[in-house]
Amino acid sequence: MAECLWEDNMKNPLDSITGTIVSGLILTLVLYMFLKNFILAGV
Amino acid sequence: MENMEFVPAFARWIHFLAGITWIGLLYYFNLVQTPAMKDATADGTAAGISKHIAPRALLWFRWAAVVTWLAGAALLGPNFVPAFTLQPEFAGIGIGAWLGTIMLFNVWVMIWPNQQKILGMKPATDDEKAKARRVALLASRTNTMLSIPLLFFMATGLSHPIV
Residues B106-125: pLDDT tens digits? 999 999 999 999 999 999 99
Per-residue pLDDT for chain B (163 aa), expressed as one digit of tens each?
A: 555 688 899 999 999 999 999 999 999 999 999 999 989 999 999 999 999 999 999 999 999 999 999 999 999 999 999 999 999 999 999 999 999 999 999 999 999 999 999 999 999 999 999 999 999 999 999 999 999 999 999 999 776 554 4
B141 Cα to chain A: minimum distance (Å): 6
Kindly state the helix (H) or strand (E) to which residue B73 belongs, with its residue range. Answer: helix B54-76
Res A41: pLDDT: 87
Question: Which residues from chain B sit within 8 angstroms of residue A31, using beta carbons?
Answer: 95, 149, 153
Q: Does B145 contact A20 at a Cβ distance shorter than 8 Å?
A: yes
B19-29: pLDDT as tens digits: 999 999 999 99
